[in-house]
Amino acid sequence: MAHLNHTRSAAGRINGARSLNIDLIAIGIGLTLAALIRFNILPSISF
């Protein structure tokens, strides 16, 4: 039981770390793109 709990806690921590990484990457890419647009390094983008 203790081993199972330990394994679950580890899984929870790893999920949290993965989620944090994705969040930080999303923020990093988002702010970088915004800066590139702000300083006219990226041309205007259409969709």
Partner 1 sequence: MSAITIPSPTDVQTASPARRLLSVLPGMALLFGIGLLGKLLEHSQTLLHARYPQIAVPHIEYVLWAIVLGLIIGNTIGVRDVFRPGVATYELWLKLGIVLVGGKFLLQDVLHIGGLSLALVAVELVLSISVMTLLRRIFYLPPKLTSLLAIGSSICGVTAIMAAQGAIEPEEEDTSTAIAAILTLGAIALFTFPAIGHILHMSQQGYGMWAGLAVDNTAESLVTGALYGDEAGRWTVLAKTARSSFIGFVVLAYAVYWSSRGLAPDVPHKGLFLWHKFPKFILGFIALSILATAGFFTHGQLTSLSNLSRWAFLPAFAGVGLRTNLRDLVGQGWRPLIVGILGEIFIALVTLTLVYWSYNHGVAR
- The reply to whether 30 sits near partner 1 by the rule CB under 8 A is yes
User: If binding is defined by CB under 8 A, does position 32 make contact with partner 1?
Assistant: no
CB of 35 to partner 1, least distance (A): 10
Does position 19 bind partner 1 by CB under 8 A? Answer: yes
Q: Identify whether the C-beta of residue 27 lies closer than 8 Å to the C-beta of residue 35.
A: no
CB atoms within 10 A of CB 1: 5
Contact 40, 31 (CB under 8 A): no
Q: What is the binding site for partner 1 (CB under 8 A)?
A: 5, 7-16, 18-20, 22-27, 29-31, 33-34, 37-38, 42, 44-47
